Structure 1
């Protein structure tokens, strides 16, 4: 595939199933170059043999949730000001009706058990901020008084002056008469013209104060909402979560889980019988140990917490991983060796595989004996599968355009490293006999993973004539907690040798790979390790350091996770930090280096790039820098499509100059 073919990267979101299993609803999303944004709609497919069809025709409809009776779908759609609001539509189709008018848009939401109301979370702006006063722009707002350890978040910005609160709203009638704008008229003196309405009733705010509340979940009786509570700490980051139950009738709230439980909670889910389950991980006595977190499935009962999965071997922490229910059993997503499989877990803690093989499960749903799963595969960015007895059946073919664009399927390899440790990864090679120049790609995280899904980064490089080598070194996810924790306070050690040993082993195993023409690149933690590699290994013709974690000292005071990330990964001793810091060894870099970054990256702030680039220039190392306006840390995954294309063009131009393929 070529850069412009990113429009063929159609992803499938978490599906929902009708209570009788008769149909599924799901959202798709893809980059659109002309619109310069991600676009997508809701789709419906009747089971088991229906044909997928569009249910809505919005620009970017997402997050469908079926009313408990299966007759109506609630979903998120941007309103006229670009704010995500809840809309409802008949499950068979029709014109959606707007249900909310939140000033800064809606976060998570849920139907009540009786289908009469919808609960949601939404950020509430401090008076005078974020357009709450007409004509007052951001530059004229009052200064922000910050007293806590956190003040901003990547992809959002400031957080203390817009906490997320819980609301409930009566679900609108999906067949209701639409609203009409009032016509101009002469009115009695002092009487204002009526404002056009967009919702039938205003939402009721249930929580107040400075704490933020996560996506709400109704209790089985519908009387309370369960939500994770986030409070900005005064002095030190504390990852331990509180879960509160908030009464929907305004009677107050109660604690369901306190911080002394020692858990960071990713998700709360309630089974039909009222049992509460959590996706969560232990964070240690200090509340900050998040390295290779070991996310597990927990049952929260009257007699306390019970862990149902083995966190040393089962990892439920993949982005988008969630809890589903199939009768009394729980469905969860386990990432392992570049795949994400679907597991069934009983309340006794017995786990069995429901869907495995060469898939990455993105989301799932179960009802009336049916299970559907949204997955990515080596030849598709997203499909919907029907899972049952026998082989899973693919219900969609969104990957057709991607296959037409051209996909080189990766070859999976395991290389034994210098210390005997097995390093697992893949090689993508262009068509032909070679010899091909080789690029070593390094993933972010570090507790993340390269997987088997079709990946535009590798495919675009392969189309341009490069072999691409990539692996999951120690520090990565999907190989057990010991693998992930092995670089804690030891970054740039076994992770460095693992990527180099895999690189050398892959080249040795394939005569088409030219070991004399090589480059290296990576983003985030991959940017860190790329910068570390070129300070210690000078064979590479060029390097690309993207959105990197490059200076742990500066990171602590600038990143949205700076108050704990560096402390946990590189420690707090100055000498130990320096021994793991790319900035401390930048003087050793001779490799021509291209530094890529985004202006609004608050995860690895722009200062990380500018300091590193300046150091390279001062010592006369060939270096260039490219900074993307309006983008954050997610540029390569969720940035403006035109910026993504421009980034690919810059990457290919760099390699054409320093590592020409032809």
Structure 2
């Protein structure tokens, strides 16, 4: 697989299934180099034996939701100004009808139980900002007054456009089209939409989630109030009435809520984690399934051993049972949880379940595997069958299947990971890859980062050391306030173990690279081990001292992971040991990265240059922390080009 082949990486989004289980709808997305953006449409597949077919032809259609009678699909589509708007289309396909035209764009959507209305969330900018006045750009906006501990977010920017809740009548999909009005002096701002939405909330509080109560009278959502003086990750669950916007509190505990869902019988469930009485204990959070009852939340899954916290994890219902996805050892499996807390596996194996839906005993799931970035699978009667073949194009690129290993560390602790090796006898130069997080993990899906390096002639070693997700909370919390200790030992011990066991791996020719926490760990490695011919430090958490005042998670992340005592922080800081680095280092970063801000890179790079260490820095304009996963496709290819060029200089692959 080569860098331009990222165009073959087709993602299958969270599916929707008709109430009678007769068909499913899902969205695909893939990078397109010509368009220089992610592109995708909605697809329909009739169950159980149909072939998938496109039902929309937008540039980037996503987030399909089927009406309760299965006749209509609501979804999001970007308008001419790249703002996500709400559309509806007949479930069999046709010309979509635009429902909203909001300056801040739509973020969430949900059908009312009777199918007559749609609830959605949308960012509401202050008048005069974010293009609300034609011809007035950001440089002409008034200053922003900031009084809270949070003011920006990666991938968004400033937080001065809170997400508000709306409802709108669902328009018929077969009505006569609406037509753009001619210019008029008395109404120059008239919008062209099928219906005018009603705004239910207002003010500085933002809202997350739009779940209807079973009777259709309220929306359940999580308010987000920016704190005045200290970060608090505890959430409240609030019901907002459809008629009038009155609010009542449903849940207020020491929980951080990531998903809210209402069962057909009206029972309320959340995915949430306990953040303690101080409201900031988020390290290896232990996201679990809770039933929200009159006495309070009742935990249904064991947070110590079952991890429901993967990005995109959600809830679906099969009768009285709840389906959720659990990350474990680089996999994501689909679980069934009864209301009594009994847990069984619905779909597992060497795959990652990224989304699911269920009706009439049929489960559809979007999955990734070692041979495909995304497929739709049908589970029925205990058997699983793949309905799509989007991975065919990537398989034609001769992808290599990584080999799984478990290596005992120096203290006997088992370290789990993989090795991907080019075809042939070698010996091949070896690149040690380190993932971000820390509470994240490498998985079994096709990974372009690894495949491109293997194609260029490198063996790639990567593992999930202590601190990673998917091995229980104790594994994840073991590096809290001692980063660069157990995690460093595990990364190096796994590397040494697999290199020693495989004569195809040339341990004398090695490089190291990683992003985010992986950038932290790469910088830590080259300060303490000088065997590597070169290093790539990408979007790294490099200076914990500067992090609190610059990162969008600076108000709690560093304090929880490295502590607040200056000596303790310095003992875990790559900047504190940068003077020990002699390895040639490429520093990669993005201009709009607010998670690990650009100054983390520039301070580190400046220190390397000042002490005479060979170093270069590459900064990508307009990109944020998600460059390698969701950046402009051309930037992603240019990054790969820079990575391979760096290795060709400092770690050439012979032949």
Give the alignment's TM-score, normalised by structure 2: 0.99
Deviates more, 1:117-126 or 1:196-205: 196-205
Q: Which residue of structure 2 aligns with residue 94 of structure 1?
A: 94
- Residue 369 to residue 391, structure 1, CA distance change in 2 (3 Å): closer
Offset of residue 180 of structure 1 = 2.0
Report if aligned partners of 2:251, 2:296 keep a CA contact under 8 Å in 1: no
Report if aligned partners of 1:475, 1:483 keep a CA contact under 8 Å in 2: yes
Secondary structure of 2:418's counterpart equals: strand
Matches within 5 A, 1:274-289: 274-289=266-281
Report if aligned partners of 2:179, 2:192 keep a CA contact under 8 Å in 1: no
Secondary structure of 1:149's counterpart equals: coil
Structure 1 residue 574 corresponds to structure 2 residue 573 = no
Report if aligned partners of 1:180, 1:196 keep a CA contact under 8 Å in 2: no
Offset of residue 195 of structure 1 = 6.4
Secondary structure of 1:609's counterpart equals: helix
Deviates more, 1:209-218 or 1:623-632: 209-218
Offset of residue 388 of structure 1 = 2.0
Secondary structure of 1:460's counterpart equals: helix
Q: Which residue of structure 1 aligns with residue 244 of structure 2?
A: 250
Deviates more, 1:99-108 or 1:602-611: 99-108
How far apart in 1 are the matches of 2:55 and 2:191? 25
Offset of residue 196 of structure 1 = 6.3
- Residue 424 to residue 248, structure 1, CA distance change in 2 (3 Å): same
Report if aligned partners of 2:201, 2:245 keep a CA contact under 8 Å in 1: no
Report if aligned partners of 1:552, 1:566 keep a CA contact under 8 Å in 2: yes
Gaps of 5+ in 1: none
| 1:82-115 residue CA offsets vs partner (Å, 9 max, x unmatched) | 1100100000111000011111100111000011
Report if aligned partners of 1:181, 1:196 keep a CA contact under 8 Å in 2: no
Secondary structure of 1:553's counterpart equals: coil
Secondary structure of 2:6's counterpart equals: helix
How far apart in 2 are the matches of 1:183 and 1:110? 33
Matches within 5 A, 1:474-493: 474-493=466-485
Offset of residue 647 of structure 1 = 0.1
Q: Which residue of structure 1 aligns with residue 582 of structure 2?
A: 590
How far apart in 1 are the matches of 2:243 and 2:576? 57
How far apart in 2 are the matches of 1:193 and 1:315? 53
| Total equivalences in the alignment | 654
Offset of residue 413 of structure 1 = 0.2
Offset of residue 285 of structure 1 = 1.2
Gaps of 5+ in 2: none
How far apart in 2 are the matches of 1:182 and 1:276? 44
- Residue 168 to residue 466, structure 1, CA distance change in 2 (3 Å): same
Structure 1 residue 131 corresponds to structure 2 residue 123 = no
Offset of residue 136 of structure 1 = 1.7
Of 518, 527, 541 in structure 2, the residue corresponding to residue 535 of structure 1 is 527
Q: Which residue of structure 2 aligns with residue 340 of structure 1?
A: 332
How far apart in 2 are the matches of 1:113 and 1:74? 14
Q: Which residue of structure 2 aligns with residue 202 of structure 1?
A: 196
| 1:286-325 residue CA offsets vs partner (Å, 9 max, x unmatched) | 1000000000000001121100000000000001100010
Offset of residue 127 of structure 1 = 1.8
Secondary structure of 1:502's counterpart equals: helix
Report if aligned partners of 1:40, 1:59 keep a CA contact under 8 Å in 2: yes
Secondary structure of 2:549's counterpart equals: coil
Report if aligned partners of 1:117, 1:169 keep a CA contact under 8 Å in 2: yes
Secondary structure of 2:607's counterpart equals: helix
Offset of residue 192 of structure 1 = 3.6
Offset of residue 391 of structure 1 = 3.4
| 1:568-589 residue CA offsets vs partner (Å, 9 max, x unmatched) | 0000000000000000000000
Offset of residue 605 of structure 1 = 0.1
- Residue 624 to residue 460, structure 1, CA distance change in 2 (3 Å): same
Report if aligned partners of 1:229, 1:243 keep a CA contact under 8 Å in 2: yes
Offset of residue 212 of structure 1 = 0.3
Structure 1 residue 374 corresponds to structure 2 residue 366 = yes
- Residue 586 to residue 445, structure 1, CA distance change in 2 (3 Å): same
Q: Which residue of structure 2 aligns with residue 169 of structure 1?
A: 168
Report if aligned partners of 1:67, 1:111 keep a CA contact under 8 Å in 2: yes
- Residue 155 to residue 358, structure 1, CA distance change in 2 (3 Å): same
How far apart in 2 are the matches of 1:193 and 1:375? 49
How far apart in 2 are the matches of 1:289 and 1:183? 56
Structure 1 residue 213 corresponds to structure 2 residue 207 = yes
Offset of residue 251 of structure 1 = 5.0
How far apart in 1 are the matches of 2:26 and 2:245? 36
Q: Which residue of structure 1 aligns with residue 403 of structure 2?
A: 411
Offset of residue 622 of structure 1 = 0.2
Secondary structure of 1:499's counterpart equals: helix
Offset of residue 565 of structure 1 = 0.2
Structure 1 residue 323 corresponds to structure 2 residue 322 = no
RMSD: 1.0
Secondary structure of 1:335's counterpart equals: strand
Matches within 5 A, 1:183-198: 192=186, 197-198=191-192
Q: Which residue of structure 2 aligns with residue 229 of structure 1?
A: 223
Offset of residue 133 of structure 1 = 1.9
Give the alignment's TM-score, normalised by structure 1: 0.98
